[in-house]
Amino acid sequence: MAACDTKTATTGETANSSVTVEAAPTDAAAAETSGTRATATDEANATPAPAPGSIPASKTGDAAAILARPQVPILCYHQIRDWTARDSKGAKDYITPIATFKAHIKMLADSGYHTISPDQLYAYMTTGAKLPSKPVMLTFDDTDLDQFTIARPTLEQYGYKAMYFVMTVSLGRPHYMTKAMVKQLSDEGNVIGSHTWDHHNVKKYQGKDWETQIDKPTKTLEEITGKKITYFAYPFGLWNTQAFPELKKRGFVAAFSLAEKRDQQDPLFTIRRIIASGYWTPKTLRNNIVQSF
């Protein structure tokens, strides 16, 4: 995965045409241990997942057990808006036109997919807890306003919930969500995660960076939501193993990357997602879900 060093703080992945499109998800998927589809049961729909902290250590599997379980498909969206003449070819992977987004979500619903929460995912990964049939997790990065104005009502139509990875520097700025919107998403049963303060690459943190990029944003998000923030998404999907202990000692229980291979020792801190590209038809999305996870 290429570095995206030139990206500016406030504009999200889409702003810079040098941002490299993720490697074809199938490459990463091929490198992973394959398995059968996730365990399915509709009963699991009704059962709330235990909070990660309430799962006794004696019940959680080791890395090998986690890696052996089939992966749950996790989709990552950024902006949801129609393309303009200024959008670069590369940026369009990160900008899903409104009708395309609605068609993606409709396809998921028509195909019988159930959205799951990160706590459900965590319980499944660590203990093998049952999931609803055809589980999928929807995630939205970078705090874009259209995630509230477009994605939220669309998901609501289907009873879907999502995870929103917020970078706190953007809160309240034009074209980004406000604190009140983030609180509303949280109150409505979606989960808020941290996506740093201003989207700097975790691999380059030193000294005070951990405080600026992780500690302060966590505090801000906890104040907004009134809930503990325990899930993290790496900016640009970039991580290194040195980041894991730093995140763990700050109370994070899992972290999400993008399509590349999971860490074999710490799969909970390299949970894979694919970017649901703005170019993808519902059929392409469905094929990628099946091939990548």
| Minimum distance, C-beta of residue 143 to Zn ion, in the bound complex (Å) | 9
| Minimum distance, C-beta of residue 142 to Zn ion, in the bound complex (Å) | 4
The residue (of 142 and 260) whose beta carbon lies closer to Zn ion is: 142
Query: What tokens were used for 22?
Result: 């993720």
d(CA 129, CA 118): 13
The residue (of 181 and 275) whose beta carbon lies closer to Zn ion is: 275
d(CA 121, CA 132): 11
Buried b (16+ CB within 10 A) or exposed e, 238-264: bbeeebbeebeeeebbbbbbbbbebbe
| Minimum distance, C-beta of residue 12 to Zn ion, in the bound complex (Å) | 6
| Minimum distance, C-beta of residue 210 to Zn ion, in the bound complex (Å) | 18
Chain residue at closest Cβ approach to Zn ion? 141
Could you tell me if 256 and 164 are in contact, meaning their C-beta atoms sit under 8 angstroms apart?
no
The residue (of 142 and 146) whose beta carbon lies closer to Zn ion is: 142
The residue (of 131 and 185) whose beta carbon lies closer to Zn ion is: 185
The residue (of 120 and 196) whose beta carbon lies closer to Zn ion is: 196
What is the binding site for Zn ion (CB under 5 A)?
141-142
What CA–CA distances, in Å, run from 189 to 69, 123, 160, 164?
Answer: 26, 18, 10, 11
d(CA 156, CA 154): 5
| Minimum distance, C-beta of residue 30 to Zn ion, in the bound complex (Å) | 25
